[in-house]
Amino acid sequence: MHINFSNLIYEIIEKVYHSCKKSREIKLITTGKLKNFTIFIDEKLKQNIFINLFSSAIKFSLDAKRITIELSSEKKYTVISITDFGIGISKLELKIIFNPFTRGKSVDLIQGMGLVYLL
């Protein structure tokens, strides 16, 4: 399904913002040319993918008041950068973080299954 990328991201930010009881600011930075940009994405997975990413940024930023989502494009790719101010990932674990369902050792008692969707 082809959809407007900015509209999708705004919609998901609203859902995540309300689900976290408005406890965190979600700052969106986007370039002008992405405002009317369409992407082809699976209808069923589109929300799950981004809700998982944005919610995880909030969940693991316990003491932070904000996360930042930046949308940009490089050549033929759309780039989504999410900056949180949370517990971080150790250098040793960086090599394995994109293995499905991998969780870092620093998560302590924070519930979750790890990154489920690979983009």
Give 74-90 pLDDT, tens digit per residue: 888 888 888 888 777 77
Q: What residue type is assigned to position 44 of the chain?
A: K
- For the beta carbon of residue 16, count every other beta carbon within 10 angstroms: 21
Q: What confidence tens digit (pLDDT) does each residue in 4-36 have?
A: 888 888 899 999 988 887 778 889 888 767 777
Q: 109: which 2 tokens?
A: 């008692």
pLDDT category at 118 given cuts 50, 70, 90 is very low
* Domains present along the chain, CATH in parentheses: 2-87 (3.30.565.10)
- The pLDDT value recorded for residue 43 is 76
Report the pLDDT value the prediction gives residue 116, as an integer from 0 to 100: 43
In the chain, what percentage of residues exceed pLDDT 70?
82
The kind and range of the H/E element at 14 are helix 5-19
Amino acid at 65: K
